[in-house]
């Protein structure tokens, strides 16, 4: 496995930049993005006594959760998929009077209060886009920023860069055959905002993820006809089992450290007893075991299938004029197609090799966070977990802050940690046995991942 | 050792919500100073701070809040309540815990990065405090060891300087914590390391009959300083006759830490 951090060769190339238009920010750290992950990064870096400049291209905090932002994927009916205790920041809980699955507007107010509570706003430059991040050679970075309103760009030099630009804003749509000939309306789920868009229409929803299922359910309540196209069968978990949020029940199994096979058996039994046999509604049998694909949590999908409001259909073969041909040869005529086919991460301001990004656009980072060859470059929140992202982003940013601090205070110990990390087995933190899909690039089990971070944090303690 | 990252208790059985009593005194003008949240010990409530300290803190420019602990709670739910109230305030909070409330604050500090923390007459060494209580007030203390009532005496809480009528009135207002909390006061895991390393001050009296001097020193050492002492005062520094001296010293320390 590649080392998590660079050999000394990377550090030799110390060039002297004395161009006056590069403002040297010395030991300050640059954070890119002021969504949940970026805010956690600012707060934890500040707590480790770093000066921080955060750049945010929108004019307010919240990232994906801020429905006012152009790139926000929120739709009016978005609620949490993971329950509140598994989603809140570990050191700033959501009000315990909030529901188990809060609405996205509550999440935004939570992030706004988090930013205000810890005084993060004064470190954020809003309406400022990062256009380039280039290594200077001695572990430091030149960050080129530009106002989103236009104008001249500006270069500043930082000791480290923490990327928190999110991975749910650049839509991924498969290149369907004949899509250009399609006469109906085709939108990506990111453009779906309000159930009024569905009212009285014949809607085809593509994608069996949480968004696809949510939209299929909203369509069942609004549209005249709803088809839901999925490539395979999934394990649809209800939001509640045994009267508790399903992720809290799942964590009981993880707390007792039940082996994976036993957990898979228990889930199969529970789903069979509560949801029942979904093939009765025409859904395919899952082609994988539970926990081998990102969890889909939706209590209402099966309900509407049972009421005949949603017709399950297989994958799309091709679009042709007014009609859509399905993989089983059936032909349907939707007038609105919503493709809930996910998002891809994008780091346009970074040269691909800095994150060891492959030709498919998949970065290869240690713990999905640390650039393997650049010790002062990290990405926060590039994870898909079986629980909420905020706790993972929080502990990632604590690890990054402690790592950057240790590099300054005890370089010898930092080198030892680097050595140790380079031999950490991939399977200890990354979910390997998953259905192959871009959606599972960053899949982790929150407990395994946090155990590894916990171990790393202990080694990053100052002596 | 239990991991701080894997919080299975909170993930699988979250603390149930309750309505929480919070009393507030705001300064005449908001100078942007951090809010101060007072946490009472067992038997006491927000009222114990509302008598003197709350208004005095506000007069020094700090938004002041005092909360009561839930009925029939345990240490975990008390700490949960403190973090909930702290997170509901607009700015990073200074936590001030008194007596067993200091133990609750010490627990909360592992869960919430406070701006600063003050432990007043902190009951962090349960066994030492139990010994002191048995010496001073055996008949009020013994029943609590077996799930009964804890009856605190005037001698334990106040100095002789406090007029008898006032002392009697305060004693009448004392409530009862649950049996579980009494046991946990004596037997509990050592407090966690505070997150965000807040500056921490330990305040007490060498004449406190609940928290002996040796225990004050030990607690202060744990938080890396010597205790600030107010001789001649009883355990309830916020109610005793000379209540103004400790709160002024706390505010002086706080002002210095905030500007540092």
Residue B206 clears pLDDT 50, i.e. is over it? yes
pLDDT digit string, tens, across residues A413-460: 999 999 999 888 888 888 777 888 888 899 999 999 999 999 999 999
- Sorting pLDDT into bands at 50, 70 and 90, what band is A21? low
Residue A4 clears pLDDT 80, i.e. is over it? no
Interface of A with B (CB under 8 A): 47, 84-86, 90-93, 95-97, 113, 116-119, 247-249, 251-252, 254-255, 387, 391, 395, 447, 450-451, 453-454, 457
| Edge-to-edge strand ranges of the sheet holding A128-135 | A22-24, A153-158, A141-147, A128-135
Chain A: give the shortest CA distance to residue B228, in Å: 27
B223-259 per-residue burial string, b: 16 or more CB within 10 A, e: under 16:
beeebbbbeebbbbbbbbbbbeebbebbbebbeebee
pLDDT of residue B1: 47
Of B12, B89, B196, the CB nearest to A252: B12
Do B12 and A255 count as a contact with CB atoms less than 8 A apart?
A: yes
Nearest Cα residue to B223 out of B121, B128, B119: B119
CB contact residues (below 8 A), chain B span 139-178, against chain A: none
Chain A: give the shortest CA distance to residue B152, in Å: 33
Mean pLDDT over residues A356-365, rounded? 93
Of A47, A95, A248, the CB nearest to B196: A47
Average pLDDT of chain A, as a whole number: 92
Chain A: give the shortest CA distance to residue B15, in Å: 8
Residue A326 clears pLDDT 50, i.e. is over it? yes
pLDDT of residue B152: 87
Chain A residues with CB-CB distance to B83 below 8 A: 93
**A-B C-beta contacts closer than 8 Å:** 76
> H or E segment at A392?
helix A389-409
Total-model pTM: 0.94
- Structural contact between residues A31 and A42, judged by C-beta atoms closer than 8 angstroms: yes
Average pLDDT of chain B, as a whole number: 94
Nearest Cα residue to B123 out of B15, B40, B1: B40
Residues written for chain A:
463
Indicate the SS3 state at residue B206: coil
Give the residue on B whose Cα is nearest the Cα of A99. Answer: B17
pLDDT of residue A161: 98
pLDDT of residue B244: 97
B89 close to A (CB below 8 A): yes
B138 close to A (CB below 8 A): no
């Amino acid at each position: 496995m590649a080392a998590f951090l660079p050999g000394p060769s990377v550090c030799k190339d110390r060039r002297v930049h004395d161009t006056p238009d590069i403002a040297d920010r010395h030991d300050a750290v640059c954070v890119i993005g002021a969504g949940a992950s970026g805010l956690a990064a600012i707060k934890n870096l500040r707590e480790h006594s770093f000066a921080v400049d955060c750049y945010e291209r929108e004019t307010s905090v919240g990232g994906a959760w801020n429905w006012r932002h152009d790139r926000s994927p929120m739709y009016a009916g978005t609620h949490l998929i993971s329950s509140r205790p598994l989603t809140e920041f570990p050191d700033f809980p959501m009000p315990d009077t909030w529901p188990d699955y809060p609405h996205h507007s509550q999440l935004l107010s939570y992030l706004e209060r988090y930013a205000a509570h810890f005084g993060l706003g004064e470190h954020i430059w809003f309406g400022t886009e990062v256009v380039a991040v280039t290594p200077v050679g001695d572990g430091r970075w030149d960050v080129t920023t530009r106002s989103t309103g236009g104008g001249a760009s500006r270069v500043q030099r930082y000791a480290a860069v923490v990327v928190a630009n999110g991975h749910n804003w650049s839509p991924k749509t498969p290149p369907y055959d004949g899509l250009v000939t399609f006469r109906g309306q085709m939108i990506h789920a990111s453009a779906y905002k309000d159930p009024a868009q569905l009212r009285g229409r014949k809607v085809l929803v593509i994608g069996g993820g949480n968004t696809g299922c949510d939209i299929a359910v909203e369509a069942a309540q609004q549209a005249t006809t709803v088809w839901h196209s999925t490539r395979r069968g999934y394990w649809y978990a209800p939001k509640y089992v045994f009267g508790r949020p399903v992720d809290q029940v799942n964590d009981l199994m993880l707390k007792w450290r039940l082996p994976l096979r036993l957990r898979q058996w228990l889930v199969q039994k529970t789903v069979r007893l509560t949801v029942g046999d979904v093939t009765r509604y025409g859904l395919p049998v899952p082609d994988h075991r539970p926990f081998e694909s990102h969890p889909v949590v939706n209590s209402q999908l099966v309900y509407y299938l049972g009421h005949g409001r949603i017709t399950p259909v297989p994958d799309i073969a091709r679009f042709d004029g007014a009609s859509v041909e399905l993989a089983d040869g059936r032909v349907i005529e939707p007038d609105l197609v919503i493709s809930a086919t996910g998002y891809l991460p994008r780091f346009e301001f970074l040269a691909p090799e800095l994150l060891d990004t492959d030709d498919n656009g998949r970065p290869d980072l240690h713990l999905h966070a640390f650039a393997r060859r650049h010790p002062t470059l990290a990405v926060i929140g590039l994870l898909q977990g079986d629980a909420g992202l905020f706790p993972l982003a929080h502990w990632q940013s604590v690890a990054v802050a402690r790592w950057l601090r240790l590099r300054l205070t005890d370089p010898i110990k930092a080198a030892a940690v680097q050595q140790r990390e380079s031999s950490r087995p991939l399977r200890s933190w990354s979910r390997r046995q998953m259905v192959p899909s871009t959606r599972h690039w960053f899949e982790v089990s929150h407990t395994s991942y946090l155990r590894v971070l916990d171990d790393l944090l202990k080694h990053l303690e100052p002596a | 050792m239990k991991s701080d990252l894997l919080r299975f208790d909170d993930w699988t059985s979250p603390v149930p919500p309750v309505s929480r009593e919070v009393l507030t005194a705001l300064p005449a003008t908001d100078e942007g100073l951090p809010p101060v949240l007072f946490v009472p010990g067992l038997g006491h409530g927000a009222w114990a701070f509302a008598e003197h300290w709350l208004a005095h803190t506000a007069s020094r420019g700090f938004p002041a809040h005092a909360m009561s602990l839930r009925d029939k709670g345990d240490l975990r739910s008390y700490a949960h309540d403190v973090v909930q109230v702290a997170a509901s305030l607009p700015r990073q909070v200074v936590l001030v815990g008194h007596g067993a409330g200091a133990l609750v604050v010490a627990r909360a500090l592992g869960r919430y990065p406070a701006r600063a923390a003050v432990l007043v007459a902190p009951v962090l060494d349960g066994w030492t405090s139990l010994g002191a209580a048995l010496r001073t007030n055996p008949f009020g203390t013994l029943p609590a060891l077996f799930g009964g009532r804890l009856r605190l005496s005037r001698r334990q809480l106040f100095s002789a300087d406090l007029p008898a009528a006032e002392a009697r009135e305060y004693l009448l207002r004392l409530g009862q914590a649950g049996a579980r909390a009494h046991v946990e006061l004596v037997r509990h895991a050592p407090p966690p390391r505070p997150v965000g390393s807040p500056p921490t001050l330990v305040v007490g009296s060498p004449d406190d009959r609940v928290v002996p001097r040796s225990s004050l020193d030990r607690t202060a050492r744990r938080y890396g300083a010597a205790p600030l002492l107010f001789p001649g005062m009883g355990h309830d520094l916020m109610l005793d006759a000379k209540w103004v001296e400790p709160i002024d010293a706390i505010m002086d320390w706080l002002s210095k830490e905030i500007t540092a």
